[in-house]
Amino acid sequence: MAAATRILVQRGDFDIAAEVARLKALDRDAGAIVTFTGVCRGEHGTLAALELEHYPGMAEAEIERIASEAAGRWPLSGITVIHRFGRMAPGDNIVLVATASTHRQAAFEAASFLMDFMKVSAPFWKKQHRPGDKPEWVAPNGADDAAQDRWRK
């Protein structure tokens, strides 16, 4: 069974329960649905907001490419990736990755793979807004590169 893939890049929030229900309805034999929700951190009160920009069309295409690679590596029945853009306050949802498979290990590994590759490869840029300071772009993180590299071995 080929993985049914749903990729959305949107300004508005998402409903995690509705997305899980959609994956359950796709495959009654799926024994595992793993979700990861990335949330805007408050950084101990030092962050007022996080602003995400993306390259429209290219962001979706890159996420689709990563999802296709995940579907080729693991026996998945469904993949959902919803990534938000725009200004978000601490506590707001940023990204949802959900994977469905017959067995939990494949769903866990695929969800982790998707996040590790999106963090480095998907064309999104973050700007931090701190109280009283000029907004700053967030530099790439070497730890994200290392997380992606573990899948290449």
- Tens-place pLDDT, residues 79-96: 999 999 999 999 999 999
The pLDDT of residue 153: 64
The pLDDT of residue 142: 74
Tell me the three state secondary structure of residue 48. Answer: coil
Rounded to two decimals, what is the model's pTM?
0.93
35-49: pLDDT as tens digits: 999 999 988 888 999
CATH 3.10.20.30 fits 4-152, yes or no: no
Does 30 or 70 have the greater pLDDT score? Answer: 70
Mean pLDDT computed over every residue of the chain: 92
Does 141 or 6 have the greater pLDDT score? Answer: 6
The owner of tokens 């490869």 is 121
What gap in Å lies between CA 121 and CA 114, rounded to an integer? 10
Does 7 or 42 have the greater pLDDT score? Answer: 7
Contact 58, 124 (CB under 8 A): no
